[in-house]
Amino acid sequence: MGAGGALGTDQGFTVLVTGFGPFPGVPVNPTAAVASALDGARVAGVRVVGRVLPVDWAAGLPALDAAVAEVAPDALLMLGVAPRGGIEVERVARNQVNAKPDVQGLAGPATLAPDGPAELATTLPWEALCALGAQPSDDAGGYLCNAVFYRALWAHAQVPQRGFVHVPHGDPAPVLAFVRRAVGVLAQGPAQARDQAGIDQSMGA
Cite the active site residues: 90, 145, 166
Sign of CA dihedral 201, 86, 14, 59: positive
Among residues 100, 123, 103, 115, the alpha carbon closest in space to that of 32 is found at 103
Amino acid at 186: L
Please compute, for residue 16, the number of CA atoms within 13 A of its CA located in the half-sphere on the CB side: 31
Q: What are phi and psi of 71, to 5 degrees?
A: -90, -30
DSSP strands (E only) in 34-107: 42-43, 46-53, 75-81, 88-90, 92-94
Provide the 3-class DSSP secondary structure of residue 25. coil
Alpha helix (H) residue ranges in the chain: 30-38, 60-71, 126-130, 144-155, 173-188, 190-202
